[in-house]
Structure 1
Amino acid sequence: MDEQVRHETVFDTGAEHLGRVYAEALLAAAQKSGAADAIVDQFESLVSDVLDQHPTLAAAFASPRVDPEEKQRILDRLFASQVHPTLLHFLKIVARRERLGYLKQIAASAVAIRDERAGRLVAEVRSAVPLSEELRQAVRARLAETMGQEIVLRETVDPQLIGGLVVRIGDTVFDSSVSNRLSRMARKTRQTFARQMLENADRFAVGTAG
């Protein structure tokens, strides 16, 4: 894997580009191990369930003041018994190259590339409150029927999205935020409103992102 992970050039320093380069290297190694899905899922969980919840640890990984060797020891101490050996080896390479501050971008790219290769479409869902399992399944089924492909949801809670649900696939936006209905729906919960918007398919207005 050392040969597959390359330093970015002076012209390719963007976080998104870096994330994709490292993600491609991880997926190549993960496929050889025969556990690509498990490794990507573990990586995504490591970022969202560990680093996002422990900003001090994330800051230590990103800090140039912490020696790369120390970062590798931390990785061993925290994750050696928790993650696939291929993922741990990859994380140590990233640490040696002092790129642990980009784990979020690398993980996001790994998930996106994995889903793209599997023929799955990623739908970014913003809602005023967390989706119930019932609504989550309904959104996924509706989009799968509309797009003709398996759908993977990436959910974000946006409290400022008053009474609505916004779904984005690439440049296409399905928008159920109807501001002129707020007064009539004021006594209903945001989650109920979002569910009603989904059940009435004609509430979705299809447009392109600006």
Structure 2
Amino acid sequence: MPNWFLGKIRYQQPIDDSNVGSRKDEFIKQKTITEAYLVDAVSYTDAEARLYQEIAANTPDFEITNITRMKLADVFYHDDGGETWFKVKAVFITDDEKTGKQKKTPSVMLVNAETPKQAYERVELSLKTALDPFEITDVNTTKILEIFPYTEESESTIVDEQTGEVTNHRPSAQWAQLKDGLRKARSIANTMVKGLAKEGISVSVKGPGESEYQQLKDG
């Protein structure tokens, strides 16, 4: 099941304006561009890694300003229409057996379309097979430019030679977990070096990160 995160980025774009005072000013003046993307990821760290992976090719100099989890019941993508993504809210109506009253459960979906009307109709058509009656209550335009779901190309298949078990691994997720592990290991090592330094014990650390450990030991 997809786990969606909304990522926002920011970068500087030169202003192409021939009316600017001098030619030198044309290259100096820049405007700030903000964009939003939706990415399927296993964690916030994985979402950050996937954003850099997907966006860096077309937008090399950017910074991620915010990542938030976006709870979605479904995402409907149509090849034949619409670069605009709409957030559609539907309310499913069921009968509560205990109270005998109707229970309304909201559900939020995304769909690409040309107009709000088309977004409404596409979601309505997609939900026709739903078992419970529903009504669409809201259709809102989002600022999402593109959506990055996980695909078969995004995953690698690994076969355990002993058990024959087949598992799918998400590369960026593995990288994110590795970075987290290294960060924790470095933190533990730093704490140990500081403690030994207080006891007057000299510690020599070799390998990657040696300069950082040495500074902590000396301090």
On whether the aligned pair clears a TM of 0.5, the verdict is: no
Structure of higher CA gyration radius: 2
Structure with a larger share of its residues in strand? 2
